[in-house]
Homo-oligomer: A and B are copies of this chain.
Amino acid sequence: MANIKDVAKIAGCSISTVSYALNDDKRIPEVTARKIKKIADDIGYLPSAAARNLKKKNTRTVLVAISDFGGPVYHELLDGIHYELAKNDYTMIVSTGASTDNLLKERMADGTIISDINITNKTLKQISKILKPIIILDRKLDDTDLVDMTIDNYDAMYRLTEDVISKGYKKIAFCHGVKKTHDNEYRFNGFKDALNNHGLKVYAEYIGNFTKGSGAKLAEELLENRQLPEMIVCANDEMAIGIMEVLQKSGYNIPGDIGISGFDDIELSSYFTPKLSSVRINRFEWGKKIAKTMLSLLTKRKAEVNKEQGELKIRDSY
């Protein structure tokens, strides 16, 4: 693999000249620079990122760590982050699972954006002392240097619940996702407070894990016990869809017999019959904001933090 030395040898100049030329330093005259670049091209010289990063002590790279590539939720977010980062000539790399662990243990990026519930608070606290800046999307953690940019789950769910109440539903249940996750807790609190402030009680609480499967299982249990509420507010769309599928197979009409709502507004939701009412987050915009914050953290070391608002998408499922 050709290195800068090889280029210098062929060009008959010093290493420093090559380096300056390749980096468009103005002290190298146009004509020399062109010649050097030509040679570099010809022999297939690619600079070693390792050597450069080592010397410059930065990588112009931001790492985004996510739980998995499977969920329908991340794409827009990643595209938004990438859009903004690329505009500022930063490189984005994405990782999951074990790869994230490795990447976190070796400082390969200048900044890190994390939305991965598999990373424990403990780990997070540890690395937050060492690996700044870090923006965290899926929880809040006090007494750390983590910058959190969560969605305003509470507010959105509060508003959705008010809309449900306004339709006349009284026996309203909540279907939890993974308990203790930030998303679930804040959504539930918004739900509960809206109910209470309108003189209603939580009719029942069910526990899923954010997947379609868990929604389906839950619905089967409900059918067995014949204890259906008038309405189930779900912590996310996937569980809502799982519930609807099972209920429909058993002959229930939605929203005739029971109302259902979701959260996230994944693509499937508007194709399902009935179309699922949900909360839409403009994740592309959210991603852009996150990237902007990261950029200012990287340069100015400070940031204006921002809660992302959700938009109610009331359709046909309640």
| A residues at B contact (CB < 8 Å) | 1, 44, 46-54, 59-60, 68-72, 74-76, 78-79, 82, 85-86, 91-99, 102-103, 105-108, 129-131, 267-268, 271-273
Q: Is B106 within 8 A of A46, CB to CB? A: yes
Please give, as numbers and ranges, the residues of chain B lying within 8 Å of A98 by CB-CB distance: 82, 86, 91
Contact check: which of B71, B85, B95 meets A99 at CB < 8 Å? B85
Starting from the known contacts A46-B105, A49-B50, A52-B106, 17 additional A-B residue pairs (CB-CB under 8 Å) come to A1-B107, A1-B130, A46-B107, A46-B130, A48-B54, A50-B50, A60-B102, A69-B78, A69-B82, A70-B79, A78-B96, A82-B97, A86-B97, A91-B95, A91-B103, A93-B99, A271-B272
Please give, as numbers and ranges, the residues of chain B lying within 8 Å of A108 by CB-CB distance: 49-50
Task: Tell me whether A94 and B97 are in contact in the complex, defined as CB-CB below 8 angstroms, given that A46-B131, A267-B268, A273-B273 are known contacts.
Answer: no
Please give, as numbers and ranges, the residues of chain B lying within 8 Å of A48 by CB-CB distance: 54, 106-107
Q: Is B95 within 8 A of A94, CB to CB? A: yes
User: 6 A-B residue contacts at CB 8 Å?
Assistant: A46-B130, A50-B51, A69-B74, A69-B82, A72-B267, A93-B95
Please give, as numbers and ranges, the residues of chain B lying within 8 Å of A86 by CB-CB distance: 97-99
Q: A103–B107 Cα gap in the complex (Å)?
A: 16
Q: Is B79 within 8 A of A129, CB to CB? A: no
Please give, as numbers and ranges, the residues of chain B lying within 8 Å of A107 by CB-CB distance: 1, 46-50
Please give, as numbers and ranges, the residues of chain B lying within 8 Å of A51 by CB-CB distance: 50, 54
Of all chain B residues, which has the CB nearest A45?
B130
Q: A60–B85 Cα gap in the complex (Å)?
A: 25
Q: A53–B49 Cα gap in the complex (Å)?
A: 9
Q: Is A93 within 8 A of B94, CB to CB? A: yes
Of all chain B residues, which has the CB nearest A266?
B267
Task: Tell me whether A130 and B93 are in contact in the complex, defined as CB-CB below 8 angstroms, given that A50-B50, A98-B86, A267-B268 are known contacts.
Answer: no
Distance to closest chain B CB from A132 (angstroms) = 10
Of all chain B residues, which has the CB nearest A48?
B107
Contact check: which of B69, B95, B268, B273 meets A268 at CB < 8 Å? B268
Of all chain B residues, which has the CB nearest A273?
B273
Of all chain B residues, which has the CB nearest A93?
B93
Of all chain B residues, which has the CB nearest A108?
B49
Distance to closest chain B CB from A317 (angstroms) = 14
Q: Is A99 within 8 A of B82, CB to CB? A: yes
Q: A272–B268 Cα gap in the complex (Å)?
A: 9
Among all A-B residue pairs, the 10 with the closest Cβ atoms: A49-B106, A50-B53, A86-B98, A50-B54, A93-B93, A44-B130, A69-B78, A94-B94, A69-B75, A49-B108
Please give, as numbers and ranges, the residues of chain B lying within 8 Å of A44 by CB-CB distance: 129-130
Of all chain B residues, which has the CB nearest A68?
B79
Of all chain B residues, which has the CB nearest A129?
B44
Distance to closest chain B CB from A5 (angstroms) = 14
Of all chain B residues, which has the CB nearest A71?
B75
Distance to closest chain B CB from A38 (angstroms) = 14
Distance to closest chain B CB from A44 (angstroms) = 4
Contact check: which of B70, B79, B96, B273 meets A76 at CB < 8 Å? B70
